[in-house]
Structure 1
Amino acid sequence: MFLPRSQAVPERARGLPSLAGASASGAEVERIVALDGCPTRVVLRRHARARRISLRVDAWRDAAVLTLPPRVGEAQAIGFLTTHARWVLEQLAALPPRVDFAPGARIPFLGEERVISHQPDARGAVRLDARAPEILRVPGELSHLPRRVTDFMKREARAAIKPLVAEKAAVIGARPGRIVLRDQRTRWGSCTAAGDLNFSWRLIYCPPGILDYVVAHEVAHLRHMDHSPAFWATVAEIAPTPKRSRAWLREHGLGLHRIG
Structure 2
Amino acid sequence: MRERAGPGADWRPLPLADGQSLAVRWVRDARARRLKLSINERGIRLTLPPRASERSAWAFLEAHAEWLQRQRRDLGVDPPPLRLAPDALDRLPLWGVELPLVWEEGRCCRLRQDGEQLVFSYTSRSTGERLAAMLRDFLEAEGRARIGALLPALLPGIPRPPTRFRLRPMSSLWGSLAPGGEVSLDLSLVLAEPACFDYVLVHEICHLIVPNHSPAFWHEVSQRYPGWRRVRTRLRQDGLALKARLNQLLAG
- TM-score calculated relative to the size of structure 1: 0.78
Provide the C-alpha distance between the structure 2 equivalents of 1:135 and 1:228, rounded to a whole number of angstroms.
Answer: 42
In structure 2, the gaps of 5 or more residues are none
Question: Which residue in 1 is equivalent to 2:114?
Answer: 129
**Amino acid paired to 1:139:** Y
Distance 1:176 1:59 in 2: 29
Could you list the runs of 5+ residues in structure 1 that have no partner in the other structure? 1-17
Larger radius of gyration: 1
Query: Which amino acid is 1:85 matched to?
Result: A
Deviation at 1:142, TM superposition (A): 4.7
Alpha-carbon distance between aligned partners in 2 of 1:174 and 1:122, rounded to the nearest angstrom? 45
Moved more, 236-245 or 93-102: 93-102
Correspondence for 2:42: 61
Taking structure 2 as the reference length, the TM-score comes to 0.80
Deviation of 1:90 (Å): 1.8
Please state whether the residue corresponding to 2:46 is helix, strand or coil. strand
The match for 1:211 among 197, 220, 228 is 197
In structure 1, what is the equivalent of residue 94 of structure 2? 109
Residue 94 of structure 1 aligns to a residue whose secondary structure is: helix
The aligned amino acid for 2:51 is R
**Structure 1 CA distance, aligned partners of 2:127 and 2:236?**
34
CA gap of 1:238–1:55, structure 2 versus 1, over 3 A, is closer
Partner secondary structure for residue 257 of structure 1? helix
Which of 29, 53, 78 is 1:47 aligned to?
29
Are 2:106 and 2:121, in contact at CA under 8 Å, matched by a contact in 1?
Answer: no
Partner residue in 1 for 2:172: 186
Q: How does 1:68-217 map to 2 (within 5 A)?
A: 68-96=48-76, 98=79, 100=82, 102=84, 103-130=88-115, 133-140=116-123, 141-143=126-128, 144-170=130-156, 172=158, 174-217=160-203
Q: How many residues align?
A: 234
Bigger RCO of structures 1 and 2 (CA < 8 A, at least 6 apart)? 2
